Amino acid sequence: MKQETEHKAMNAEREQIVARIVHAAGGHLVSRIRMQKVAYLLDQLGEHSGFSYTYHHYGPYSRELDSAIEDAKVLNMIDEVIQHRRSDGASYSVFKNKQEASSNKDEDATAYLSSPVRQALVKRFNDEQIVILELAATAHWLFKYEQIEDWKTEIQRRKGSKTEEGRLEKALELLKDLNLPPAVSQAA
């Protein structure tokens, strides 16, 4: 069930894309999973990172993005601090800008995250519960790339209890706000 999406990169090195995402998130972004979902959703909205995605445990995933995170760290663009949840000790990443992402002022309107609207979306994604982003990205993936007609049953099978307590509905509402399928397709 591996399927890939590819996009043409425009006006930014991949490590710079990572730094711009962290910068747009307010200089602080929690979780590699969140980073993956933010980049994926931005690509679906036409942001063109150049990353390829396959389906993985937490939904759409890009190895190239993981590599770009490592490159951004080595190039001193971001810091990654590993922290641990108090409840169970599980580790998670916290990304912080080490230097300002290069200004979009000197670049044309096609530069990655040059739009204030898209920058505001990154802040919104950063404030959203991670499971909502995961479900939104997964629902979109199942519908658009795996073309599963009964994507709702499939997402419930793959994600189990994560889809309960109104979380799937919130994820679909996010997709509707973004004008992305399957939420938009249902309304039509």
User: What does pLDDT average to over the chain?
Assistant: 90
Strand partners, 53: 5
Q: How many residues does the chain have?
A: 188
Of 76, 97, 127, the position where a domain reaches its end is: 127
Domain that holds residue 184: 128-188
> How far apart, in whole angstroms, are the C-alpha atoms of residue 93 and residue 112?
23
> Is 10 a residue whose pLDDT tops 70?
no
107 & 22 share domain: yes
116 & 72 share domain: yes
Model pTM?
A: 0.88
Question: Over the stretch 158-182, which tens digit does the pLDDT of each residue have?
Answer: 999 999 999 999 999 999 999 999 9
68 & 93 share domain: yes
| CA distance to 31, 49, 74, 168, per residue, from 164 (Å) | 22, 32, 40, 7
Q: What are phi and psi of 157, to 5 degrees?
A: -65, -45
132 & 106 share domain: no
User: Looking at the 3D structure of the chain, how many domains does it have?
Assistant: 2
Question: Over the stretch 68-122, which tens digit does the pLDDT of each residue have?
Answer: 999 999 999 999 999 999 999 999 999 999 876 554 445 556 689 999 999 999 9
Show the CA angle centred on residue 50, arms to residues 131 and 136, nearest 5°: 20
Say if residues 61 and 53 touch (Cβ distance below 8 Å).
yes
> Is 6 a residue whose pLDDT tops 60?
no
66 & 119 share domain: yes
Of 94, 127, 160, the position where a domain reaches its end is: 127
What is the band of 186 on the pLDDT scale with cuts at 50, 70, 90? low
Half-sphere exposure of 21 (CA within 13 A, CB side): 32
98 & 35 share domain: yes
Of 127, 153, 176, the position where a domain reaches its end is: 127
Biggest CA–CA distance in the chain, Å, is 47
